[in-house]
Chains A and B, each alone.
Chain A
Amino acid sequence: MRIVLIALFLFSPTVFAKKKVIYKYKEYEKFDLGDLEIKGSIVAPGDLSVKERRRKTFERNLLQRRSFDKEMIQDIKFLR
Chain B
Amino acid sequence: MNKKTWVSLLTLPCLGLGLLAGCSKKEEAQPAAAPEAAAPAAAAATPIDPATVASVTGTVKLDGAAPKAAKIDMSQDAACKGANSAETIVADGGNLANVFVYVKDGLGTRTFDVPTTAVTIDQQGCKYHPHVLGVMTGQNISIKNDDQTTHNIHPTPQSNREWNESQPPNATPIQKTFAREEIMLPVKCNQHPWMRMYINVVKSPFYSVTGPDGKYELKGLPPGTYTIAFVQEKLGEQTQQVTLAAKDSKTVDQSFKQQ
Our verdict on whether A and B bind, yes or no, reads: no
Interface residues, chain A, with chain B CB atoms under 8 Å away = none
